[in-house]
């Protein structure tokens, strides 16, 4: 039986937050409990760090961002985790 | 039908150049984005149609133009110039606060851009044209419009004293800049130029607009993000011969398996120093060097480097001169004279542009550099405080002013720092009860994303010198999280 989306997303969120720490060279450490809408936006990543984060997500999860991915997906960890889960399935 | 290979002559203004290009290359593709391809004759036709639409709005010049990266935005830039509306070409990532600062300093009363991204407080004055809208602000700040005599358009520098500064240019300057770049880059009808930079930025404006269209080449604008997966998709589709991008894109591409040289013959990056390993990897993968573009808003494009001299920004473009204000072989301030210089600042703030120009007409840049015996210029640092983060220049004073507005902040020092990963913006904040979240919130409201400091250190007291100033040299001592505040630097 496949794990429930919520459990999968929690693991993805954890990895996403680790990636933020890595791409910001430890300057930005997300709060594990803050995963809702705008939780990424509130971190204050600049445009270059945001792009580095997107590249790191692609590399870590083996996905490709759609060119028209919504700003909501990029703004919050939970929304991004759900997107990553869906894209991962699509590329399997 | 074979198209003439010769570029259109660099005489007259922008309308003459576009009209000549339409006659010469009629049905050939001029500008493409992810939705449409506009041929040369249609481009000129749309520019005239759009110019009529802008004139029909009946608004006084100047207006703020906020371009996205689409073919219709290219049309809008040229149309606003042709219509005499004096577009001040702004950054689409600017916040409403930054746009408000611009209109108050220049007297601009209207904004032109995609209908869906009109700033708050702006009401459309005419029906939209191909997705573009013109709106005027609901209130009048009362500042008279800048002196626009002879000025065709405005572009923005980062400024050095808090906030962007708007520079006015003549059409002659724009046409001269395009001709110089076209000649140095040897652009021709055979070329397809893929531009990942935004149209307001000098990298795009000077290398990828009139320079491309005056050569009969095809300009492809990229609407996606400049990350390898997205770039690889568009490179496979359009097979560019020239790639124009910021250093981040080159760095990311060289680490990616999907990088293909394809038809590429020239790679142009901005003058943010590319790490040597990135340059080496790029050359290894593609057989090409990276052409480091050196240009300033105040002067237009200055040099051209075909990528064969690593670390250098190359030799002066035709008509441009570069000198060092001391021994040219040792690092000194770079002085520049070009045919594409700005005429003046349009914001009425001191200092005037003329204050930075020598009696011989050389602009005193904020860059340090030296010239080798072959005439190649190498940049070695900066005179002032402006920070260059991945090709985008940021004035620390502007960021400091925003952070000072946060309740509880007593003092702040913003500066560039150079960890191994490349230059970053760091903010050292002195205050009580100040959180990182509050600082980020204020920055997000007042500053474009690229200006957000990535190192934010908040302390009750910052180290100070005997004179009471923040001791910049001692800030490294406090940049690590304090033992009692494990997450001060982070966001917890």
Q: Which residues in B85-118 are b (16+ Cβ under 10 Å) and which e?
A: bbbbbbbbbbbeebbbbbbebbbbbbbbbbeeeb
Residue B166 near residue B107 (C-beta atoms within 8 A): no
Residue B45: band (very low, low, confident or very high) from pLDDT cuts 50, 70, 90? very high
How far is the first Cα of chain B from the last one, in angstroms, to the nearest whole number?
A: 65
Residues B171-186: tens digit of each pLDDT: 999 999 999 999 999 9
Residue B492: band (very low, low, confident or very high) from pLDDT cuts 50, 70, 90? very low
Residue A52: band (very low, low, confident or very high) from pLDDT cuts 50, 70, 90? very high
Please tell me which residue of chain A has the smallest CA distance to B492. Answer: A31
Among chain A, residues having any CB pair with chain B shorter than 8 Å are 24-31, 34, 41-52, 54-55, 58, 64-65, 67
- How far CA B259 is from CA of A32, A34, B20, B231, B342, in Å, comes to 35, 36, 37, 9, 38
Is residue B490 scored above 50 in pLDDT?
no
Is residue B1 scored above 60 in pLDDT?
no
Which whole number is the average pLDDT over A33-52?
A: 94
- Alpha-carbon span B443 to B425, nearest angstrom: 13
Whole-number pLDDT of residue B83:
96
Q: Which residue has the higher pLDDT, B251 or B182?
A: B182
- How far CA B262 is from CA of A33, B236, B240, in Å, comes to 46, 8, 8
Which residues of chain A are within 8 Å of residue B227 when distances are taken between CB atoms?
Answer: 51, 54-55, 58, 65
Whole-number pLDDT of residue A51:
93
Measure B294 CA to nearest chain A CA, in Å: 20
Q: Closest by alpha carbon to B230, among B417, B429, B69?
A: B69
Q: For residue B71, what are its two tokens?
A: 């073919």
Strands B424-431 and B455-459: parallel
- Other Cβ atoms within 10 Å of B435 Cβ, number: 15
3-class SS letters over B279-343: HHHHHHHHCCCCEECEEECCCEEEEECCCCCCCCCEEECCCCEEEECCCCCCCEEEEEECCCCCC
Which residues of chain A are within 8 Å of residue B490 when distances are taken between CB atoms?
Answer: 27-30
DSSP state of B241: S
Which residues, 6+ apart, have CB-to-CB distance to A75 below 8 Å?
A37, A38, A39, A40, A41
Q: Mean pLDDT in chain B?
A: 88
Residues B9-19: tens digit of each pLDDT: 545 699 999 99
At what angle are helices A47-61 and A77-91 packed, to 10 degrees?
40
Nearest by CB: B440 against A34, A42, A47: A42
- Alpha-carbon span B58 to B373, nearest angstrom: 55
Degrees to nearest 5, angle at CA B193 with B192 and B196: 140
Whole-number pLDDT of residue B397:
87
Q: Do A50 and B487 touch (CB under 8 A)?
A: no
- How far CA B313 is from CA of B9, B177, B187, B248, in Å, comes to 27, 17, 19, 18
Among chain B, residues having any CB pair with chain A shorter than 8 Å are 34, 93, 223-230, 233, 248, 252, 389-390, 392, 419, 421, 424-425, 436-437, 439-441, 443-444, 448-456, 487, 489-492
Is residue A3 scored above 70 in pLDDT?
no
Assessment of whether the complete model's pTM goes beyond 0.90: no
- Other Cβ atoms within 10 Å of B447 Cβ, number: 23
Q: Closest by alpha carbon to B68, among B293, B222, B235?
A: B222
Whole-number pLDDT of residue B180:
94
- Alpha-carbon span B394 to B389, nearest angstrom: 7
- Alpha-carbon span B160 to B271, nearest angstrom: 18
- Alpha-carbon span B24 to B362, nearest angstrom: 36
Nearest by CB: A30 against B228, B425, B491: B491
Helix (H) or strand (E) holding B24: helix B14-25
Residues B343-352: tens digit of each pLDDT: 999 988 888 8
Whole-number pLDDT of residue A65:
93
Q: Which residue has the higher pLDDT, B361 or B247?
A: B361
Pick from A24, A35, A40, A46 the residue to mutate for testing the B interface (most B CBs within 10 Å): A46
Q: Do B441 and A47 touch (CB under 8 A)?
A: no
Strands B29-32 and B332-337: unpaired
Which whole number is the average pLDDT over B397-414?
A: 93
Whole-number pLDDT of residue B2:
39
Q: Do B454 and A49 touch (CB under 8 A)?
A: yes
Percent of chain B topping pLDDT 90: 58
Q: Closest by alpha carbon to B6, among B171, B174, B173, B182?
A: B182
- How far CA B421 is from CA of B91, B135, B365, B424, in Å, comes to 26, 42, 26, 8
Which whole number is the average pLDDT over B198-218?
A: 95
Q: Closest by alpha carbon to B440, among B372, B374, B491, B488?
A: B491
Measure B410 CA to nearest chain A CA, in Å: 21
Nearest by CB: A48 against B390, B437, B448: B390
Degrees to nearest 5, angle at CA B211 with B205 and B212: 100
Q: Do A51 and B421 touch (CB under 8 A)?
A: no
Backbone dihedral angles phi then psi of residue B316, each to the nearest 5 degrees: -60, 145
Return the minimum-mean-pLDDT range out of B89-93, B189-193, B308-312, B462-466. B308-312
Q: Closest by alpha carbon to B434, among B478, B462, B403, B399?
A: B403
Q: For residue B395, what are its two tokens?
A: 């004035």
Residue B271: band (very low, low, confident or very high) from pLDDT cuts 50, 70, 90? low
Which residues of chain B are within 8 Å of residue A41 when distances are taken between CB atoms?
Answer: 444
Residue B239 near residue B233 (C-beta atoms within 8 A): no
Q: For residue B53, what are its two tokens?
A: 């639409």
Whole-number pLDDT of residue B216:
98
Please tell me which residue of chain A has the smallest CA distance to B257. Answer: A59
Measure A73 CA to nearest chain B CA, in Å: 14
Q: Do A41 and B444 touch (CB under 8 A)?
A: yes
B7: left (phi over 0), alpha (psi -120 to 50) or beta: beta
Return the minimum-mean-pLDDT range out of A6-10, B27-31, B419-423, B488-492. B488-492
Pick from B449, B451, B458, B479 the residue to mutate for testing the A interface (most A CBs within 10 Å): B449
Pick from B225, B252, B426 the residue to mutate for testing the A interface (most A CBs within 10 Å): B225
Whole-number pLDDT of residue B87:
97
Which residues of chain A are within 8 Å of residue B392 when distances are taken between CB atoms?
Answer: 47
Which whole number is the average pLDDT over B243-255?
A: 87
Question: How many contacts, defined by CB atoms under 8 Å, are there between A and B?
Answer: 88
Q: Do A46 and B444 touch (CB under 8 A)?
A: no
Is residue B151 scored above 90 in pLDDT?
yes
- Alpha-carbon span B306 to B289, nearest angstrom: 7
Q: Do B454 and A52 touch (CB under 8 A)?
A: no
DSSP state of B159: -
Which residues of chain A are within 8 Å of residue B444 when distances are taken between CB atoms?
Answer: 41, 44
Q: For residue B247, what are its two tokens?
A: 């250093």
Which whole number is the average pLDDT over A31-44?
A: 95
Measure B417 CA to nearest chain A CA, in Å: 13
Q: Is the peptide bond before B351 cis (omega within 30 degrees of 0)?
A: yes
Residues B425-459: tens digit of each pLDDT: 999 999 999 999 999 999 999 999 999 999 999 99
Percent of chain B topping pLDDT 70: 93
Which residues of chain B are within 8 Å of residue A53 when distances are taken between CB atoms?
Answer: none
Q: For residue B453, what are its two tokens?
A: 């400091």
Please tell me which residue of chain A has the smallest CA distance to B481. Answer: A27
- Alpha-carbon span B473 to B192, nearest angstrom: 48
- Alpha-carbon span B187 to B240, nearest angstrom: 12
| Location of structure tokens 């060092």 | B324
Whole-number pLDDT of residue A90:
67
ipTM score for this prediction? 0.82
Which residues, 6+ apart, have CB-to-CB distance to B197 below 8 Å?
B203, B204, B208, B244, B245, B246, B270
Hey, which residues does B220 pair with through a beta bridge? B32, B194
Measure A7 CA to nearest chain B CA, in Å: 23
Residue B3: band (very low, low, confident or very high) from pLDDT cuts 50, 70, 90? very low
């Amino acid at each position: 039986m496949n794990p429930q989306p919520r459990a999968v997303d929690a693991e993805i969120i954890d990895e996403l937050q680790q990636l933020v720490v890595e791409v910001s060279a430890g300057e930005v450490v997300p709060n594990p409990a803050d995963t809702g809408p705008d939780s990424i936006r509130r971190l204050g990543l600049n445009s270059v760090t945001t792009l580095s984060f997107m590249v790191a997500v692609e590399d870590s999860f083996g996905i490709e961002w759609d060119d028209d991915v919504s700003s909501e997906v990029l703004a919050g960890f939970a929304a991004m985790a759900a997107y990553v889960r869906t894209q991962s399935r699509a590329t399997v | 039908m074979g198209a003439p290979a010769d570029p259109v002559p660099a005489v007259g203004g922008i309308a003459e150049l576009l009209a000549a290009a339409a006659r010469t290359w009629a049905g050939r593709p001029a500008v493409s984005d992810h939705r449409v391809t506009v041929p040369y004759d249609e481009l000129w036709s749309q520019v005239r149609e759009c110019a009529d639409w802008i004139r029909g709005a009946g608004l006084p010049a100047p207006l703020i133009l906020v371009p996205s990266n689409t073919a219709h935005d290219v049309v809008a830039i040229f149309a606003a110039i042709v219509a005499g509306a004096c577009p001040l070409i702004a950054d689409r990532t600017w916040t409403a606060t930054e746009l408000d600062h611009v209109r108050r300093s220049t007297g601009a009363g209207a904004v032109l851009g995609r209908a869906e991204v009109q700033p708050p407080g702006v009401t459309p004055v005419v029906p939209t044209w191909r997705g573009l809208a013109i709106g005027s602000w609901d209130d009048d700040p009362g500042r008279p419009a800048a002196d626009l005599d002879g000025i065709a358009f405005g572009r923005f520098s980062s400024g050095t004293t808090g906030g962007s500064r708007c520079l006015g240019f003549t059409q002659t300057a724009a046409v001269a800049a395009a001709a110089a770049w076209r000649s140095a880059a040897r652009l021709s009808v055979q070329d397809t130029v893929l531009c990942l930079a935004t149209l307001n930025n000098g990298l795009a404006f000077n290398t990828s607009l009139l320079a491309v269209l005056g050569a009969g080449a095809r300009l492809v604008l990229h609407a996606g993000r400049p990350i390898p997966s997205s770039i690889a998709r568009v490179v496979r589709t359009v097979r560019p011969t020239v790639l124009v991008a910021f250093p981040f894109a080159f760095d990311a591409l060289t680490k990616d398996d999907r990088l293909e040289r394809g038809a590429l013959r020239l790679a142009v990056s901005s003058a943010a120093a590319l790490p040597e390993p990135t340059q080496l990897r790029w050359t290894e993968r593609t057989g090409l060097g990276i052409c480091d573009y050196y240009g300033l808003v105040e002067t237009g494009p200055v040099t051209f480097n075909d990528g064969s001299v690593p670390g250098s920004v190359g030799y002066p473009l035709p008509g441009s001169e570069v000198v060092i204000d001391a021994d040219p072989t040792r690092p000194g301030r770079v002085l520049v004279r070009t045919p594409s210089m700005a005429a003046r600042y349009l914001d009425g703030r001191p200092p005037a542009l003329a204050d930075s120009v020598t009696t011989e007409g050389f602009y005193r840049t904020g860059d340090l550099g030296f010239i080798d015996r072959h005439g190649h210029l190498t940049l070695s640092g900066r005179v002032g405080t402006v920070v260059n983060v991945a090709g985008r220049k940021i004035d620390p004073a502007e960021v400091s002013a925003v952070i000072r507005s946060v309740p509880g902040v007593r003092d702040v020092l913003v500066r560039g720092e150079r960890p191994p990963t490349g230059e970053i913006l760091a903010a050292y904040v002195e205050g009580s009860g100040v959180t990182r979240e509050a600082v980020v919130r204020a920055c997000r409201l007042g500053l474009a994303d690229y200006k957000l400091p990535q190192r934010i250190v908040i302390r009750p007291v910052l180290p100070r010198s005997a004179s009471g100033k923040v001791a910049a040299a001692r800030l490294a001592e406090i940049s690590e999280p304090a033992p009692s505040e494990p997450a001060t630097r982070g966001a917890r």
